[in-house]
Amino acid sequence: MTTTLIETHKVFEGEQRKYRHFSETLDCDMVFSLFLPKQTDNKPTSLIWWLSGLTCTDDNFSQKGAFQKYASQHQLAVVMPDTSPRGTDVADDESWDLGQGAGFYLNATHEPWAKNYRMYDYLTEELPQLVYTLIPNFSGKESIMGHSMGGHGALVIGLKNPERYCSISAFAPILNPSQVPWGQKAFTAYLGSDEKDWTAWDTTSLIAQSPTAPPIHISQGNDDNFYDVQLNEEAFLKAAEGKKVSYKKLDGYDHSYFTIASFIEEHLQFHTDYLG
């Protein structure tokens, strides 16, 4: 695969980069961002995947996540994919919570989405093989995290691949998408109306069926406007009993990147503890 470096910035002695490539899986051009810490003494560098939420691109976290200082300290590379396939030939919807910018990190099975909307395969098969080659002294160890729709994506991908990811964390994730409006709308469009087909992409269903799971850390602001309708945790926590799950309510914090920036150090320390 050919990648083109289209942007780079020095930050906390590391580099914040942006790349473009053509994705065979998604059948369109894609961009992603990658933070690389400064390479010193041939130290091994582990990788964290960040998955963003509805309407976001790879730029949101790279510019507002305030993570680079801590990633540099812990010798972590951080990759930020886009949230969906993009382009004039890619199916879209007029609403903000479906289509481009709202890929939900699954493999769509229904038209017009099935041709391009295969974000799960893209993130677990195609893009990693490209990203690994860009990380000097890659340790081979990975963790995954995300926000909102991206928190859903991080949990689903992490639970489907427990041997691959050392840890999972999320800010304000959609924990039970089969039972909330955002998830029901997306799943009906991408997967069809048979709810049995949704369970493979629902965190609560997955963790209930998983004999083992990586350690999970979740932060949820209690002033989050989306919490009551879209982000309730009760069914998930019940299904997750016996698993290593930390769920923290954050007094006075909302759904924004201000919350992420306030607690990103805690999340990266959590991952570092398991990445070694």
Residue 221 has pLDDT above 90, yes or no: yes
As a whole number of angstroms, the distance between CA 60 and CA 42 comes to: 30
- Which of 148, 167, 169, 205 is the catalytic position? 148
Q: Residue 121: exposed, middle, or buried by beta-carbon count in 10 A (0-12, 13-18, 19+)?
A: middle
Cβ(56)–Cβ(150) under 8 Å?
yes
Average confidence (pLDDT) over 149-174: 98
Domain count along the chain: 1
As a whole number of angstroms, the distance between CA 103 and CA 186 comes to: 8
Rg over alpha carbons for the chain, rounded to the nearest Å, is 17
Please state, in angstroms and as integers, the Cα–Cα distance from residue 10 to each residue in 14, 38, 39, 68, 249, following that order: 6, 10, 13, 10, 34
pLDDT in tens, 229-254: 999 999 999 999 999 999 999 999 99
Average confidence (pLDDT) over 157-169: 98
Res 1: pLDDT? 67
Residue 193 has pLDDT above 80, yes or no: yes
Residue 39 has pLDDT above 90, yes or no: no
**Which range of residues forms the domain containing residue 259?**
3-275
DSSP letter (8 states) at residue 58: T
Res 40: pLDDT? 81
Q: What is the mean pLDDT of the chain?
A: 97
Asked about 255 being catalytic, the answer comes back as yes
Q: What percent of the chain has pLDDT over 90?
A: 96
Per the structure block, which two tokens stand in for 35?
């933070």
Asked about 167 being catalytic, the answer comes back as no
- Which of 147, 167, 224, 267 is the catalytic position? 224
As a whole number of angstroms, the distance between CA 263 and CA 258 comes to: 9
DSSP letter (8 states) at residue 107: B
* Residue 130 belongs to domain with CATH number: 3.40.50.1820
Q: pLDDT class for 225, splitting at 50, 70, 90?
A: very high
**Residue whose token pair is 């945790």:** 233
Instruction: Count the helix, strand and coil residues of the chain and give each as a percent rounded to the nearest 5.
Output: 35, 25, 40
Asked about 224 being catalytic, the answer comes back as yes
Q: pLDDT class for 42, splitting at 50, 70, 90?
A: confident
Per the structure block, which two tokens stand in for 258?
């201000």
Cβ(243)–Cβ(216) under 8 Å?
yes
CA nearest neighbour of 216 among 239, 198, 182, 187: 239
End-to-end distance of the chain based on CA atoms, in angstroms? 30
pLDDT in tens, 109-136: 999 999 999 999 999 999 999 999 999 9
Q: pLDDT class for 160, splitting at 50, 70, 90?
A: very high
- Which of 74, 147, 152, 255 is the catalytic position? 255
Residue 82 has pLDDT above 90, yes or no: yes
Residue type, 36: L
Residue 177 has pLDDT above 80, yes or no: yes
